[in-house]
Structures are given as C-alpha cells and as structure tokens.
Amino acid sequence: MTPEETYQWLVQHSRETEYLKSVSALLAWDQRTYIPARGHEHRAGQLAYLAGLIHTRQTDPRLAEMLGRVAESSLMQEAQGDAAANVREWRRDYERAVKIPQDLAVALARAGAEGETAWERARPHSDWETFRPFLERLVSLKREEAAALGPGEEPYDSLLDDFEPGETTAFLVPLFSQLRQGLVPLLEELLGAPRPPDVTISTRHFPRAAQEELARLAAWQIGYDFAAGRLDPTAHPFSTGIGPGDVRITTRFDEHFFPTAFFGTLHEAGHALYDQGLPPEHWGTPLGDSVSLGIHESQSRMWENCVGRSLGFWQFFYPLARQAFPTLADVELADFHRAVNRVSPSLIRVEADEVTYNLHIIFRFDLEVALMRGELTVADLPGAWNERVRRDLGLEAPDHSRGVMQDVHWSGGLFGYFPTYTLGNLYAAQLFACAEDELGPLGEHFAAGDFRPLLNWLREKIHSQGRRYQPRELITRVTGKAPDPAYLVAYLSRKYRDIYGLEG
C-alpha cells in the first residue's frame, strides 16, 4: 500500500469506529430521557457490549502497523496539516487504548450505565447508602484505569488527560489557587453591597409551557439548528452529538425558578453550537471532533453567561419574556437583569452564579484527586463534601440530594471531568475579550438580536479546527496569550461591580 492508501485505510477504520460510538451515544441519550423504567438492565448490557467492540477496534494491531507506515511519509511534512494532525491524534488515542485491558473497558461501561441508573433512582430520596456501593465500584475501576494508563504517576493526571489533553494536576492546582484568590475578595465585596438584586423576581410563577417556548426561541436565535437537533427534558441537563445533522440538547424545568431551564438551555445550546459547527467533511476523524471538554465548556459558558446574562441580550429578549410571563409585568428591565445576575452562595452547582460557580468546581477537583490517590474513601466522601461546603460557601447541605449526590458525573465514572468547567470559564472570558477586540462591542449586536458575528467568529477560530491543536495551544493561537485566569477575574469584577453599583 502507498502512504496515501494507508492513510485512507486509517480514515475508513476511524469512521467505522465512530459509527459505533455514535450508536452508543444515542443509547446513552435514550437512557437519560425516554427509556422505560424496566429497560435499564438491558441498556447496561448493550452499552457494555458496544464498549467491547469499540475497544477491540481501538486496539487493533493493524492500527500500529498502519500508523508506522505513514509516520515517515510525505504526508507528515506539514506538521499541522490535515493528515499529520489526524495521524498524531490517532496515535495518541491508540497508545491510550492499548494500555486499558478490554475487560476493564467493558466493566467501566457497565458500571457507568448501572451507576447512572442507581443515581437517578436514589437521588430524589437522598438515599446515599443505596447509591454508595455503585460509586465504590466506579472509584475502584477508575483507580485501576489510572494505574494502567500511568503506572507510578499522579493517578488523577491519566483521567484528566482523557477530557483535557495535555493538562496535569500540577498545572491546575496553582491555576485554581490564583483564581480563588481573585474570586473570594470579589465575593465578599458583593455580599456586602448595600443594594443587592431582588432575587424574588426569579422565583415567581413561570409556567413550564411558556418556559419551554422561550427557551426554544432563545436557542434558535443564537444559532442552534433545530432541523439538526431537538430539546427534551431530563433529570440532569446535557448535550450529545450523535453525528452530523443530529446534535441533541436537554433541560429541566422549575416553575418557581426561572434561571434553571432558560440558562440551562442556553448552556447546552452552546455545547451544541460547537458540535454543529464541526466540519462535517472531517466527521469520523480527529479533525471532525471537538478538542477537549474545557474548550467545549468555554462555548457553553460563553453563551450562557457572557451572552445570555448580558444587558444587551436582555434588551432584545426581555420584551419577549414579558409577553411569555405576565408575572413580570411590574418588573423593569434593569431589575430583571440584576435578578438573573444575583450573587449568593448556593448549594446547587448548576444554579450557582458566575462568581461562586468555580468555588464549587475547585472543591470537587480536590475531592476527586484525594479519591484517586486513596487519601479519601467513598464512605467518607459525604463528610468531606459537607466540610468543604461549609468552608468554601458558608452553607450547610441539608441532605445528600443537595450535597454529594447532586451531580450525575461520578455516577457515570466521569472523574477528571469537573476541572474542565472552570477551564471553560477561563477560556470563555479570554476568548470573549479577544472577540470584542476584533469585532467591537458585542452587546450592541445582542441588543439587536444579532448573534451571528460572535458565532461566525467562533466557527472560524474554534469549531473549524477540530483537534488540530491541543487546548492550551489553541487558546494561545487564537488570543495571542496562554490561558490566564486574570481575564475571568477582570470580566467578573467589571460586570458585577457595575451591576451592584460599586466603584472600581
């Protein structure tokens, strides 16, 4: 085979593997939306079987042979060219996959499916003891996975690298510490402000049907293509890309707390815009895939917060919200905007404001690292969680459903995922600042209902790149600077001091 023929073999093999992954993604979406109550056990078997098939393809010895054949060919001469980028990422994926025994890959898939089902059933009842054995099984398997991927190394790094390529615990610890040092004084200043927002505005009655209609309109207005997706209810909102032309989002509704569904929908639509913007001609190869969860999260948090909670956004959307919800008839735009940007420590991460949100992530990161190092047991996790909530947020978790069991991630074995939320916030602030430097003040476009300039900029700079660059390199190339928490602290300080009427 010529190098060109070898490369085409690799493309075809990759795409066939991605078809299996897309089937698995569709089954996982169904499990978290519409599966019958008695279908979970069979679904766990389906997902485990698919995981075995995928692992077999990912570790096919022919991959090593084919990658070796093209390694020194002319296809590799342009370091960031399409072929070279794909081959580099295929090799990275292969070298990671062959370190994980197939029985471990299957066990992880089954345990994740069973764990999510157990969590969904136990969480509403705050039933930690029923859920705990499933989590203990997952933690044990993830430690085993970490040991296989990086024996003798920081165990958390191997798990983190799966979600944020190139990132390490040693890099994140000082980064998060620097961010925390900027956030805590700002939080204290805002909590001491003489005129805080009236948060009761957000807790009036907002009928579900009207919420869903407005959320759909907002997702469509920012660019989400409903002909290539759908919006459905779920216990814990998520977005999933099945493949070109099929990128789905979910949300959950609370008739007495407006932000839950509306900003949750914008968040998931931000994820979906990234997936819908990936180059379809590269689907099935690394260049047709998102680069990391941190970059993914930068897109969702940007649309949720930098856009969705901006004054310009509500100058356009507030008249529509007033039409949808008569309960807002006596509320002025400025007061509504202040209400949806209130800052107050809260128990639930997904309902946290922009200033306190990262404090939620930082303590989850610390707990995950301790779990993977064996410094913390699952049995002691609720106590450790509650201690950090008291220390970092000044609150008491009244039950496990609003404490250690509130997030779905651990139930599916997604250790190493949480840090990407804060990385996403860091990236989003830096990218948004760069976009405004190049495009001018974006709030003027938002006030006119025009979100295309920002979306087109992101499509060019981020979405179209696939996995051509690793996350840190991508941010540096786009903004001209390495990831820096100063952008996020500056954005939050400027925005919230203005909203709260503080000087500086």
Token pair listed for 98: 């062959």
Going by C-alpha positions, the residue among 473, 462, 467 that lies closest to residue 89 is: 467
Q: Which of 114, 145, 167, 268 is catalytic?
A: 268
Q: Check residue 75 and give its pLDDT.
A: 86
Question: How many Å separate Cα 185 from the centre of its chain?
Answer: 27
Q: Are residues 357 and 458 in the same domain?
A: yes
Q: Check residue 504 and give its pLDDT.
A: 59
Q: Are residues 179 and 140 in the same domain?
A: no
Q: How many residues are listed for the chain in this entry? A: 504
- Average pLDDT of span 84-91: 96
**Number of domains composing the chain:** 2
Is residue 159 pLDDT above 70, yes or no?
yes
Q: Are residues 121 and 53 in the same domain?
A: yes
Torsion, Cα 209 252 288 429, to 10 degrees, reads 100
- pLDDT band at residue 275 under the 50/70/90 scheme: very high
- Boundary (domain end) residue, out of 153, 188, 212: 153
Is residue 69 pLDDT above 80, yes or no?
yes
Query: CA 117 to CA 122: how far, in whole Å?
Result: 9
Query: CA 4 to CA 368: how far, in whole Å?
Result: 44
Going by C-alpha positions, the residue among 372, 371, 368, 352 that lies closest to residue 360 is: 352
Mean pLDDT for all residues in the chain: 95
- pLDDT band at residue 228 under the 50/70/90 scheme: very high
- Average pLDDT of span 187-205: 94
- Average pLDDT of span 285-297: 97
In a domain, 17, yes or no: yes
- pLDDT band at residue 72 under the 50/70/90 scheme: confident
Token pair listed for 136: 């203990």
Query: CA 290 to CA 165: how far, in whole Å?
Result: 11
Q: Are residues 47 and 189 in the same domain?
A: no
Going by C-alpha positions, the residue among 436, 440, 418, 451 that lies closest to residue 491 is: 436
- Boundary (domain end) residue, out of 119, 153, 187: 153
Q: Are residues 72 and 187 in the same domain?
A: no
246-251: strand order across its sheet: 231-233, 246-251, 239-243
- pLDDT band at residue 235 under the 50/70/90 scheme: confident
Measured CA distances, 255 to 47, 205, 252, 320 (Å)? 34, 6, 10, 18
Domain of residue 451, CATH code: 1.10.1370.30
Going by C-alpha positions, the residue among 298, 242, 328, 232 that lies closest to residue 432 is: 298
What's the pLDDT tens digit per position in 395-443? Answer: 999 999 999 999 999 999 999 999 999 999 999 999 999 999 999 999 9
How many CA within 13 A on the CB side of residue 323? 8
Query: CA 367 to CA 416: how far, in whole Å?
Result: 11
- Structure letter (DSSP) for residue 330: T
Q: Are residues 44 and 175 in the same domain?
A: no
Q: Are residues 179 and 76 in the same domain?
A: no
Q: Check residue 185 and give its pLDDT.
A: 95
Q: Are residues 180 and 79 in the same domain?
A: no
How many CA within 13 A on the CB side of residue 172? 31
What's the pLDDT tens digit per position in 295-340? Answer: 999 999 999 999 999 999 999 999 999 999 999 999 999 999 999 9
pTM for this model (two decimals): 0.92
Q: Check residue 80 and give its pLDDT.
A: 80
Going by C-alpha positions, the residue among 482, 492, 451, 249 that lies closest to residue 356 is: 492
Query: CA 319 to CA 29: how far, in whole Å?
Result: 34
Q: Are residues 432 and 306 in the same domain?
A: yes
Token pair listed for 123: 């969480």
In a domain, 47, yes or no: yes
Q: Check residue 79 and give its pLDDT.
A: 76
In a domain, 453, yes or no: yes
Q: Are residues 135 and 180 in the same domain?
A: no
Q: Are residues 147 and 183 in the same domain?
A: no
Going by C-alpha positions, the residue among 442, 428, 488, 486 that lies closest to residue 311 is: 442
- Boundary (domain end) residue, out of 153, 178, 213: 153
In a domain, 365, yes or no: yes
Q: CB of 176 within 8 A of CB of 392?
A: no
Calculate Rg over the CA atoms of the chain. 23
Query: CA 384 to CA 393: how far, in whole Å?
Result: 14
Q: CB of 270 within 8 A of CB of 278?
A: no
Domain with 33, as residue range(s), is 3-153
In a domain, 273, yes or no: no
Q: CB of 493 within 8 A of CB of 186?
A: yes
- pLDDT band at residue 351 under the 50/70/90 scheme: confident
Specify whether 65 is catalytic. Answer: no
- Average pLDDT of span 143-159: 92
Q: Are residues 493 and 355 in the same domain?
A: yes
